[in-house]
Amino acid sequence: MEPYRNATLSAFYLPGGAHQGLYPSISSVNTFRVVFNTYFGAEYPLLPDVSYHSSYELMYDYAPYEDVLSGCQP
């Protein structure tokens, strides 16, 4: 498995204090939930910050993928 396979660069400009809803381990699945909840009054619950992967040989056999980039700060 390639290192940092699920790495995503996320940059936000969130005026009005919305940045308080962000946290260092936030995944892509929750970024828009925080934005929608803060700016549009939505009530989307946050989902687990978990990524999954599979191999080409077993495309539908998903397993949790833990990829932590040490040294990255919000």
Distances (CA, A) of 60 to 27, 55, 57: 22, 8, 9
8-state DSSP, 40: H
Domain assignment of residue 60, given as a range: 19-65
Predicted TM-score (pTM) of this structure:
0.63
Number of separate domains in the chain: 1
Neighbours of 5 (CB within 10 A): 10
User: For residue 50, what pLDDT is reported?
Assistant: 80
Going by C-alpha positions, the residue among 20, 18, 51, 23 that lies closest to residue 35 is: 18
pLDDT in tens, 18-61: 677 888 888 888 988 998 998 899 999 999 888 777 777 888 88
Neighbours of 30 (CB within 10 A): 20
Strand runs labelled E in the chain: 51-53, 63-65
- Measured CA to CA, the distance from residue 22 to residue 28 in angstroms comes to 11
Stretch 1-14: mean pLDDT, rounded?
A: 69
In a domain, 71, yes or no: no
User: For residue 27, what pLDDT is reported?
Assistant: 82
Q: Is the pLDDT reported for residue 6 higher than 70?
A: no
In a domain, 10, yes or no: no
In a domain, 14, yes or no: no
In a domain, 53, yes or no: yes
Stretch 53-74: mean pLDDT, rounded?
A: 68
In a domain, 57, yes or no: yes
